[in-house]
A and B are shown apart, each in its own frame.
Chain A
Amino acid sequence: MTAADTAAVAAAVADAHRREWAFVLAATVRVTRDLDVAEECVQDAFAAALTDWHARGVPARPGAWLTTTAKRRALNVLRHRGVEHQYLPLLVEDATVPGPGDLLDDRSGGAELPDDRLRLVVTCCHPALDRSAQVALTLRLVCGLSTAEVARAFLVSEPTMAARITRAKKKIAVARIPYRVPSAAELPERVDAVLSVVHLLFTTGHTTPAGEELVRRDLVERSVQLCRMLRGLLPQDPAVAGLLALLLLTDARRATRTDADGRLLLLEDQDRARWDHRAIAEGAALVREALRARPPNRYALQAAIAAVHAESPTWDDTDWHEIVALYDVLVDVWPSPVVALNRAVAAGFAHGAATGLAALDALAAEPQLAGYGYLPAARADFLRRLGRVDEARLAYREALLLTENSVERDFLAGRLRELGRPD
């Protein structure tokens, strides 16, 4: 075996891990009815792939091979555990689920394997689980990240994250959170919970709350990948189309959000030629599709706003009136102080800094915005534009107290310096 072969097989296994983990695990859980045992078996299957694929070549359908291998392994484990396993709390499933023996499939993988990924992801994002647990389980079980990787993604210690994941899995088993696709009546609410998790992952990665880098590429890419998976599973769902559009249109600007020295560049100063125009085209098509649903969902509207920016050739060409109009609809379907804040900023660009500032000041008493750094940052910018330097200085100082991200801090400190010393 040559080093090149080894590298090629390792790459094929890594690629299958990224693409097929959720599919393989979701199918294996049906056999084991136990998340931990299923995870072990799937990990073993990926380990086995490294040697088997080397000896016999990469199979035509790696996902089918891995699923068959993981399920065989699961049947062995269950046989050995026998009596003891009866005492473990088991996942509750639909009565229609076939028994373990029905599911084996040969290497060629001719038969269609049932796709259980939707079950897996809605179980991870069950509303009876805390949002932080939903996010952790989704990364661990749907994306196949190790506990250490999940812990790093959320800047908590590995033991803390391990405890969070263990507690969530225990609750699923003991409280009997069912492993099933919700009924048509429940589906929109359950999908909404999944989309909130994907959106949270994206926003956490898009501007990391703390640290040296502005963007956490791994989180952004995982969230886009998850959203693409959901799009494949629920091709008719306008909220899924809307969120995928939002992620693509927002992330299309990634390469231009900082300069060569890692300094923050605002939309105004970004090199639009370097935006990802393929992602923009895909996102714009998805927005049009998502907006056909009535009433429009919040992701579709946010994506439509992102599309106005993405399709504007220059900053000066930005259609701020269109953006304010979209925010007006968004405030209706998704009333939130953060949306109102963004609307106020857009109004400032559409109708002048004084209008924007007045709209921001109207939000000063919102309890949800206390401690939200973008409020003083936006105020500071309008005050600066209005030449109210002393107040702008105060607002920049306030904004600096409210972010731990060093790229954002450097930007705010730079603006503060530009204002000069107080007279």
Chain B
Amino acid sequence: MAQYVILIYEDEAAYANASPEVLGEVMKAHDDFTAQVPQHGAKLLGGEALEPTGTATSVRSGSEVTDGPFVETKKALGGYYLIEAPDLDTALRIGRLCPARFGGVEVRPVMTFD
């Protein structure tokens, strides 16, 4: 078994402009997703949604403090899940299931230290 992080990158503006119905659908999609993970041979270990990048503060070179995200991108990191899966094929199946209607996800293995 190995651990993977599913990083969710989406268009923040789409969320800012979304109707309450759409936001409700997104919430439900995430609830459904977390319920489905075990049926696909993986285990959900954790995950969080992040406040928008407008609330972020970056600290560069250990000292300089700037307002905003470390890297400005069109799709911003908005949340993550931590999963356990036997291999990349399983992790990618979970990645495909993961809701990200205004963007997509990146699946990254977690480094192990023996």
On whether the two chains bind one another, the answer is yes
> Quick check: A178 and B89 within 8 Å, CB to CB?
yes
- A161-194, CB < 8 A from B: 174-178, 182, 186
Residues of A within 8 A of B89 (CB): 177-178, 182, 186
Contact of B87 among A86, A92, A186 (CB under 8 A): A92
Give min CB distance, B11 to chain A, whole Å. 23
Q: How many angstroms between the C-alpha atoms of A92 and B2 in the bound complex?
A: 10
Q: How many angstroms between the C-alpha atoms of A128 and B89 in the bound complex?
A: 9
16 A/B residue pairs, CB under 8 Å, sorted by A: A86-B114, A87-B114, A92-B86, A92-B87, A126-B88, A128-B88, A128-B92, A176-B2, A176-B86, A176-B87, A176-B88, A177-B88, A178-B87, A178-B88, A182-B89, A186-B89
Residues of A within 8 A of B114 (CB): 86-87
Instruction: Determine whether B103 belongs to the interface, using a CB cutoff of 8 Å to chain A.
Output: no
Instruction: Determine whether B109 belongs to the interface, using a CB cutoff of 8 Å to chain A.
Output: yes
Q: 14 new A-B pairs (CB below 8 Å) besides A86-B114, A175-B109, A176-B86? A: A92-B86, A92-B87, A128-B88, A174-B109, A175-B88, A176-B87, A176-B88, A176-B91, A177-B87, A177-B88, A177-B89, A178-B88, A182-B89, A186-B89
* Nearest residue, chain B, Cβ from A89: B112
Q: How many angstroms between the C-alpha atoms of A182 and B89 in the bound complex?
A: 9
Residues of A within 8 A of B (CB): 86-87, 92, 126, 128, 174-178, 182, 186
> Quick check: A176 and B92 within 8 Å, CB to CB?
no
Residues of B within 8 A of A126 (CB): 88
- Max count, chain A CB within 10 A of own CB: residue among B87, B92, B114: B87
Q: How many angstroms between the C-alpha atoms of A87 and B113 in the bound complex?
A: 9
Give min CB distance, A121 to chain B, whole Å. 16
* Nearest residue, chain B, Cβ from A183: B89
Residues of B within 8 A of A (CB): 2, 86-89, 91-92, 109, 114
Residues of A within 8 A of B86 (CB): 92, 176, 178
Residues of B within 8 A of A86 (CB): 114
Contact of B109 among A87, A176, A182, A186 (CB under 8 A): A176
Give min CB distance, B98 to chain A, whole Å. 16
Residues of A within 8 A of B87 (CB): 92, 176-178
Q: How many angstroms between the C-alpha atoms of A87 and B86 in the bound complex?
A: 18
Give min CB distance, A272 to chain B, whole Å. 48
Give min CB distance, A140 to chain B, whole Å. 20
Q: How many angstroms between the C-alpha atoms of A45 and B91 in the bound complex?
A: 36
* Nearest residue, chain A, Cβ from B86: A92
* Nearest residue, chain B, Cβ from A176: B87
Which 8 pairs from chain A and chain B are nearest by CB? A178-B87, A92-B87, A176-B87, A175-B109, A175-B88, A177-B88, A176-B88, A176-B2
Residues of B within 8 A of A182 (CB): 89
* Nearest residue, chain B, Cβ from A127: B92
Residues of A within 8 A of B109 (CB): 174-176
Q: How many angstroms between the C-alpha atoms of A175 and B109 in the bound complex?
A: 5
Give min CB distance, B6 to chain A, whole Å. 13
Give min CB distance, A174 to chain B, whole Å. 6
Give min CB distance, B68 to chain A, whole Å. 31
Give min CB distance, A165 to chain B, whole Å. 19
Give min CB distance, B108 to chain A, whole Å. 8
Give min CB distance, B35 to chain A, whole Å. 22
* Nearest residue, chain A, Cβ from B92: A128
Q: How many angstroms between the C-alpha atoms of A423 and B91 in the bound complex?
A: 67
Residues of B within 8 A of A92 (CB): 86-87
Residues of B within 8 A of A174 (CB): 109
Q: How many angstroms between the C-alpha atoms of A174 and B89 in the bound complex?
A: 13
Residues of B within 8 A of A186 (CB): 89
Q: How many angstroms between the C-alpha atoms of A182 and B93 in the bound complex?
A: 13
* Nearest residue, chain B, Cβ from A179: B87
- Max count, chain A CB within 10 A of own CB: residue among B86, B88, B91, B114: B88
Q: How many angstroms between the C-alpha atoms of A174 and B91 in the bound complex?
A: 13
Residues of B within 8 A of A178 (CB): 86-89
Residues of A within 8 A of B92 (CB): 128
Q: How many angstroms between the C-alpha atoms of A176 and B107 in the bound complex?
A: 12
Q: How many angstroms between the C-alpha atoms of A175 and B2 in the bound complex?
A: 9
Q: How many angstroms between the C-alpha atoms of A176 and B2 in the bound complex?
A: 8
Q: How many angstroms between the C-alpha atoms of A86 and B114 in the bound complex?
A: 10
* Nearest residue, chain B, Cβ from A88: B114
Q: How many angstroms between the C-alpha atoms of A87 and B88 in the bound complex?
A: 19
Give min CB distance, A267 to chain B, whole Å. 43
* Nearest residue, chain B, Cβ from A178: B87
Q: How many angstroms between the C-alpha atoms of A92 and B91 in the bound complex?
A: 13
Give min CB distance, A240 to chain B, whole Å. 22
Give min CB distance, A148 to chain B, whole Å. 30
Residues of A within 8 A of B91 (CB): 176
